[in-house]
Amino acid sequence: MRIQRALARAGVASRRKADALVEAGRVTVNGAVAVLGQVVDPARDRILVDGAPVAAPAPPQWFVLHKPAGIMTTARDPQGRRTVFDLVPRVPGLTYVGRLDLLTEGVLLLTTDGVAAHRLTHPSGEVEREYAVTVEGDVASALPRLRRGVELEDGPARVARASAEPLGRGRHVLTLVLGEGRNREVRRIAHAVGLVVDRLVRVRYGPVTLGTLPVGTWRSLTAEEAAALGVTAPARRGPYRPARRD
């Protein structure tokens, strides 16, 4: 991993502050002054900050959050709105896996394993995302179009599976499964086939399902889920925990 990420993962400083430490020449690797972007192996290389040794990073942490509507998926918001990082423990180097927009709810993975996060979000990985979409409109006409695929302004969008259940009064719950996660893709797909989205919930990301996890709370990734994702995660630590800061 890059030196600044190694420092962040070890809890020395945030990524931004770690950049500043390296640029100031305060970090050495095996006796030589480190340079920004340098690749290191924290398990083998001797890393010092101001002459003090840096411990090897802790094992990757993984959290499953039931993101509520109205919460930003970002590290910090210029308008001061709450973010997903306000709902989970403060862990150095934590990042999200697949952004959810402000009004979208559901499964959001967060991890300190940046390499795995990139792999799981890249379109080449084709990790399935399943959504429950409450819509209004002509669903009978929209479903065949969804199954054929929809042309968006940034290229074609392919829906792996699409089905619908009526709610009454012209409303349906669509189940949509996609193999990628472009910006606001589900909402744009629905709009392209003439449907109005009332509510959007991501109920599954790969093998990780929402289950009975209450809105606004988090849990640790299970060993079974980690194995299915092909990632390393510590053993699950106790029951579901409320999304709060102590």
Q: What is the CATH architecture of 128-205? A: 2-Layer Sandwich (3.30)
Is 45 considered catalytic here? no
Domain 62-123+207-229 has CATH 3.30.70.580: yes
Global pTM? Answer: 0.78
Instruction: Tell me the pLDDT tens digit for each residue of 113-136.
Output: 888 998 999 888 889 999 999 999
* pLDDT computed for residue 8 by the predictor: 82
Name the residue type at position 62: W
Domain boundaries, the chain: 3-53, 62-123+207-229, 128-205
Contacts of range 68-72, beta carbons closer than 8 Å, 24 or more positions apart = 68/105, 68/215, 68/216, 69/102, 69/103, 69/104, 69/105, 70/102, 70/103, 71/102, 72/102
* pLDDT computed for residue 235 by the predictor: 54
Fold of 3-53: 3.10.290
Instruction: Tell me the pLDDT tens digit for each residue of 182-232.
Output: 889 999 999 999 999 999 999 999 999 999 999 999 999 999 999 999 998
Name the residue type at position 178: L
pLDDT of 237 > 60? The answer is no
Marked catalytic residue, from 101, 138, 198, 246: 101
